[in-house]
Structures are given as C-alpha cells and as structure tokens.
Amino acid sequence: MRNFISTPNNRMKIKLSTRFTIYMIDEYRTSLINCKTGEENENLYLPDKQGTLRKIHSILTYKMENGRQGCINRDKSAVNSMQYITNYFLKTGERPEIYKRQKKENNKLKDTKNAADPKTSTKSTNKNKKIKEEKISKNKW
C-alpha cells in the first residue's frame, strides 16, 4: 500500500536467524483440517431472521471423538494445526501428508500449449509482422 511504512519482516527474520533456527510454516489447509481428527471441518450454517440459511465463514464445525458436533473458530483451528505441524516436523523432519500441497499431474494449461495448432500460431506471427511492417512504412513517410 502506498504511503505506509513497510513492516520489518525480512530484517527481523535475518536478525533472529543469527541466533535461532527459523522455520517458515506454510498455512496451506491449516484452518480447513481438524488437527485432532484429521478430517475436513465444514462451515457453520445458521438461519437468519427471514429463515434462509447463511454461511458463517469464521466458525467451522466438526464431528468430535464422542460423536457429537463441535464448533471451532477458524483462526483457532489454524493455530492448533500449525502447532501440530511443528511438533510433527520436529519429530520426523517432514510435514504431515494431510497438510502437504498436492502436485497437479494433469495440468490443462500445459496440455493446451503443447496441442496448439501450428497454422494458428503462424497466422498470429504473420499478423504481428504485417503490423510491424505497417508501422515502419508509416514512419518512413
């Protein structure tokens, strides 16, 4: 943002790294997955004054170990999950499988680029050449 002082995150990391070991935690799926059960939390839906169900984004629901339904704040769930990730990493040296990012095997964007029709690609380059030639000829006159 303009006209605001930047936060000193990088400088602080460098200063702290001179004395301590620093681990950066990827927050991927930390609020979504319950750290105790390992299952996905769901959003809470409550009726409003008109009776229509509204999603409350900040509150998540999950099934507790005793079979009852529990509610947890999204931020608190993320903190609990980050604590679980840290403890797991210190024990094993790896991130838990449920919190890892999945690699996309079928990348549609790469497939479409490789399957491009050579006729259309030459047409676009021919158009670009014509436009450049027109600009050059206009500049000569």
The per-residue pLDDT for range 13-26, each reduced to its tens digit, is: 899 999 998 888 88
140 occurs within a structural domain: no
**What are phi and psi for residue 25, nearest 5 degrees?**
-100, 125
pLDDT of 68 above 50? yes
Nearest to 74 by CA among 46, 38, 34: 34
92 occurs within a structural domain: yes
3 occurs within a structural domain: no
Collapsing DSSP to helix, strand or coil, 137 comes out as helix
- How many domains does the chain divide into? 1
Q: For residue range 69-107, list pLDDT tens digits in order.
A: 889 999 999 999 999 999 999 999 999 999 988 877 655
Exposed e or buried b per residue across 53-68, where buried means at least 16 C-beta atoms within 10 angstroms of its C-beta: eeeeeebbebeeeeee
